[in-house]
Structure 1
Amino acid sequence: NGAGKSTTIKMLTGILVPDSGTATTLGLVPWQSRRSVAKRIGVVFGQRTQLWWDLPLSDSLDLVRHMYGVPAQLFAENLTTCRELLDLDPFLDRPVRQLSLGQRMRGDLAAALIHDPEILFLDEPTIGLDLVAKARIRDALTHLNQSRGVTVLLTTHDLADVARLCQRVLLIDHGRVVHDGGLEALRTQFGSGCTLVVDLAEPSASDKAHRHDAHETSERGVSPLVVPGATETRSEGNRHWLAFDRREVSASDLIASVASRYPLSDLTLEEPDIETVIAGLYASRTE
């Protein structure tokens, strides 16, 4: 909170003028070329609707068409696309005030797409939505980006949005960009700690004797796995958790090392989730 995400969106769309510095959207300074920029972008603020509260959604979309001067044929085509993509038909003729939050968000998204924007700015588009509504919004955004080439710039607190939608991630801390790149680069730099979950096959008598002779037995009577580059953090029966830093040893090398030492039933690689990665980034900045 307070990092400057919404403020950035408002500057890039021409709603706010910065105290210093400059910005461009589609090659134009947005607060100096409001009308030119507005014709080429769509904007949705998750906590503020652009629809008319007492009008049916269909009338709101028609008003947006007239505001942007969208030709009737193009409007019909875009409305058909939005109806199919966002499943608008069940509530298209219902007053906006009667819509659920998820339905209203889909209506706002349709309103932002009626004029064929080149860039879609979304400020917290999934805030307050249930899992089904979030999934529908994410699927729609992915389709728009892949099939129509619409660039989507979104701010979000929901890191599942980031993991499922974003090819490029910008992290802002007190108004400053602290990361600009892909998710994998982010994971590599700030989420290098991984876990390899090893399920051992039932060892033969000779294997048991070898493990007992070669390795110290834990207090529970289970011999810990000893593998260079990894540390066993816990075990339950034949299942063992090995922590490792992928900057020091690759997962493939570690797996090969485990396979050469122990009889295996299954292996699972657990990478840090996006929340853990971003928490690590901000923690590193406060140290």
Structure 2
Amino acid sequence: MIIEVSGLRRLFKKVVAVDGLTFAIERGSAVGYIGANGAGKSTTIKMLTGILRPSAGTVLTCGLEPLRQRRRLARRIGVVFGQRSQLWWDLPLRDSYRALGAIHRLDHRPRLAELAERLDLASFLDTPVRQLSLGQRIRGEVAAALLHSPELLILDEPTIGLDVLSKERLRAFLAEQRTAFGTSLLLATHDMGDVRRLTERVLLVDHGRLAFDGTLDGLARQVGAERILVLDLAEPARPLSEIPGTRLVGVEAGGLRQRLSFAPGTTTVAAILSAVTERAQLHDLTIEEPDIEGVIRQLYSA
């Protein structure tokens, strides 16, 4: 087990930030930790890494007690906080890696060479961290967290502020690292693209309590989120508003393209298509999955 949490609780004055949280994460897993601002995500991570002491409950990270065995734990985990830096602000990036190598008592150069190639760091290794762009700094932070090849990588909003291309490159790299090294991943983020691309399981926390534990598709089913069947017809047809188990949500191009919404479990794509082909000739189709941000908003408002 890479993480074990039981009855975890953290109070700030009269505010309960984490309230009776219990979950376990298997070694080698990739888990998304999601929730609204103030739900308790960052507080949980600080307790998992030994920065904060729990008010109650127990936590084991890599089999260690984070607060009591913090030094040993630091050698086995890597952490990236999107809005906090572990790099030395006024020093060249290369010097930060040299210092981190000394802290971990390892020859960092072979691993740095690999990370610099994969994350495209070479052109700014000798640039002071304060002069780096946001995208360059985040890539530098990820490299710092992976320099000692940790068993567990914890990311707290790692792609915040990055452009679409930078996000995609970082996601691809993290997926490759998991495949190559079997690194466990705990990802706390608001970016559902990160969660969908990088994780197999999600933990949804609401006001410090675990509200859901499962897959993204399972989360969508729990709130009754609908899928959209986009139908491209061979010829314009009247609106397909009478297909059993569906709801017509859009007609485009004079009836050539029509969108039908349906809830998984109430009908099937095969049944819908059978009914559609009785009324019109089908040319092509696509299925749009539920918008996960909308699913989460729906769950919070329920």
- Place the TM-score, normalised by the shorter chain, in its bin: 0.7 to 0.9
Q: Residue type of the partner of 2:41?
A: K
Counting only pairs closer than 5 Å after superposition, residues 247-262 of structure 1 correspond to structure 2 as: 247-262=265-280
For structure 1, list consecutive stretches of 5 or more residues without a partner in the other structure: 209-221
**1:52 and 2:88 aligned:** yes
* 1:245 CA drift (Å): 1.6
In structure 2, the partner of 1:283 is 301
Counting only pairs closer than 5 Å after superposition, residues 16-31 of structure 1 correspond to structure 2 as: 16-31=52-67
CA displacement, residues 161-186 of structure 1 (integer Å, 9 cap, x when unaligned) = 11221111111100011111122222
In structure 1, the partner of 2:41 is 5
Q: Which moved more, 1:191-200 or 1:245-254?
A: 191-200
CA contact (8 A) 1:163 1:274 kept: no
Percent identity, aligned pairs only, is 53
CA displacement, residues 102-131 of structure 1 (integer Å, 9 cap, x when unaligned) = 111111111111111000111111111222
* 1:235 CA drift (Å): 2.0
Q: Residue type of the partner of 2:152?
A: I
In structure 1, the partner of 2:72 is 36
Counting only pairs closer than 5 Å after superposition, residues 201-280 of structure 1 correspond to structure 2 as: 201-202=234-235, 222=238, 224-236=240-252, 237-238=254-255, 239-280=257-298
Q: Residue type of the partner of 1:68?
A: H
In structure 2, the partner of 1:61 is 97
In structure 2, the partner of 1:194 is 227
Higher helix share: 1
Which consecutive aligned stretches of 4+ in structure 1 deviate over 6 angstroms post-superposition? none
Number of aligned residues:
264
> Measured at CA, do residues 38 and 243 of structure 1 come closer, stay the same or move farther in structure 2, by a change above 3 Å?
same
Bigger RCO of structures 1 and 2 (CA < 8 A, at least 6 apart): 2
The whole-number CA distance in structure 1 between the counterparts of 2:184 and 2:243 is: 46
CA contact (8 A) 1:145 1:151 kept: yes
Q: Secondary structure at the match of 1:16?
A: coil
The whole-number CA distance in structure 1 between the counterparts of 2:94 and 2:247 is: 60
**1:138 and 2:171 aligned:** yes
CA contact (8 A) 2:250 2:258 kept: yes
CA contact (8 A) 1:53 1:96 kept: yes
Higher strand share: 2
> Measured at CA, do residues 172 and 55 of structure 1 come closer, stay the same or move farther in structure 2, by a change above 3 Å?
same
The whole-number CA distance in structure 2 between the counterparts of 1:54 and 1:191 is: 51
The whole-number CA distance in structure 1 between the counterparts of 2:45 and 2:58 is: 13
Q: Secondary structure at the match of 1:18?
A: coil
* 1:224 CA drift (Å): 4.0
* 1:23 CA drift (Å): 0.9
Q: Residue type of the partner of 1:283?
A: S
CA contact (8 A) 1:191 1:272 kept: no
Q: Residue type of the partner of 1:174?
A: H
Q: Residue type of the partner of 2:275?
A: S
Of 146, 154, 160, 1:127 maps to 160
In structure 1, the partner of 2:135 is 102
In structure 1, the partner of 2:7 is none
Q: Which moved more, 1:275-284 or 1:96-105?
A: 275-284
The whole-number CA distance in structure 2 between the counterparts of 1:117 and 1:98 is: 28
The whole-number CA distance in structure 2 between the counterparts of 1:6 and 1:223 is: 48
CA contact (8 A) 2:248 2:259 kept: yes
The whole-number CA distance in structure 2 between the counterparts of 1:187 and 1:231 is: 18
* 1:225 CA drift (Å): 4.2
Q: Residue type of the partner of 2:38?
A: G
* Aligned Cα root-mean-square deviation (Å): 1.7
The whole-number CA distance in structure 2 between the counterparts of 1:121 and 1:85 is: 19
* 1:223 CA drift (Å): 5.0
* 1:231 CA drift (Å): 2.5
CA contact (8 A) 2:240 2:276 kept: no
The whole-number CA distance in structure 1 between the counterparts of 2:217 and 2:284 is: 25
CA contact (8 A) 2:228 2:287 kept: yes
